[in-house]
Amino acid sequence: MSRPLANPPLTRSPPPRAGLDAGTLLLGLATVATAALVWLAETQPIDTAPLSPAAAVSPPPGPGATHPTPAEAPLASDVKRAATLADLPATTARPLFAPDRRPPPPRPLAVVPVEPAAPPPPPAAAPPPLQAQLLGLARAGKRGLRALVRPSGEPHGTWLAVGDRVQGWTLTDIRPDKAVFKLDGVTQDLPLADAPAAMSAARSGDKP
């Protein structure tokens, strides 16, 4: 004989809730509000025309004012340029962040001392003149011209060639009527003496 099957245990389902919880209610309200906003955005026309600068800054019209027509609206070329600091002198004359609203006093200019230029050096003193007499000229073979020069205070003259010195002066040139001497950039000419004095000095002087 087979045993009769045992009846399965019965499970009791929870009773249905009487109402919706608060979370579900808020979610439903948000969904409805979103749908309403989408509907308004799709059905209401939106004016996307740009505003003119004059309309953006002009005060709202009074009760009896009339709106300007598009032909009367100012053009972009008629709008004044933006003000600069040069157009607002009171901004610099009365600074905002100064306690007394007065501009700071001007800074004193720095005085740079100017050193006086050094005076030029005094000119060099001229050398004392050559105290001598040219008694004669002679050509001594291959040695060229010679000048018979007698310094002052001496009884006899001395034959000099170009490059010789007397009293610090250097003989630089011998010409038919004079001898040229030079010292410290100064040039002095000794003219040839008259014939009688030259002949007497030549007799007593050395040979060239």
Query: How far apart, in Å, are the Cα atoms of 19 and each of 12, 13, 14, 46, 153?
Result: 21, 17, 14, 42, 156
Q: Where are the domains of the chain?
A: 132-204
pLDDT tens digits for the chain (208 residues)? 455 555 555 555 555 554 557 778 888 888 888 888 777 777 766 556 665 554 445 555 556 556 555 555 555 555 566 777 677 777 777 777 777 777 778 888 888 888 888 888 888 788 899 999 999 998 877 778 899 999 998 888 899 999 999 999 999 999 989 999 999 889 999 999 875 555 555 454 455 5
What's the rounded Cα separation, in Å, for the pair 190 and 160? 13
State pTM to two decimals: 0.40
CATH for 132-204? 2.30.30
- Supply the DSSP symbol for 78: G
Strands 165-166 and 158-160: unpaired
Which residue from 193, 205, 129, 134 is spatially nearest to 167, judged by alpha carbons? 129
